[in-house]
Structure 1
Amino acid sequence: MAVCITCGTDCDQSFTVNWNGRSASFDCIECLATMVAPTCHHCGCRILGHALRIDGRQYCCDHCAQARDHGASPAANAERWQFGDRPIKSVPGE
């Protein structure tokens, strides 16, 4: 059994993903998306479909793409995990 790199669950139905020379195991699609899906440059949400790409930046929707013209800055944490780039931290209280 492989341990999910996102949540730490030891699951008998986990799966392994190989991407850009990296390999990681996950127990569900939600954990995979948390690590792999790109984030919107404006709001910071995970983009699970086709992103709008403008000037080298990705946006989740037309609203966020238009907001870039008004000097808007990302509202969400831009330091989210990106597929194995940062070590997994333990959850406080565990």
Structure 2
Amino acid sequence: EGAGYTTEQTDVWVVLEVSGPDTLAALERLCPLDLDPERFPVGAAGRTVMEHMGAMIVRLEPDRFWLLSARSSAGSFLHAVETSYRYVID
């Protein structure tokens, strides 16, 4: 007979909440999705790649998002987001 396997994934994601007036500009540097509010309105969610890492993005408000990425690469993901903000703000 066939064999089956299961994998525990209940604690696999890390979530960053980003918000503020520079958020859209910072995310446009990282995310290939079109985040124009008419195409990606409040409540929209999408799967994408940010800095070569798989991610999901959820728009909570016009300038507030959740960014989800694998917990195993959380440090690299945070660094990529922080760096993008630095380039936009400076």
Scaled by the length of structure 2, the TM-score of the pair is 0.25
Task: Point out the structure with the larger helix share.
Answer: 2
> Does 1 or 2 have the higher relative contact order (CA < 8 Å, sep 6+)?
2
Task: Point out the structure with the larger strand share.
Answer: 2
Scaled by the length of structure 1, the TM-score of the pair is 0.24
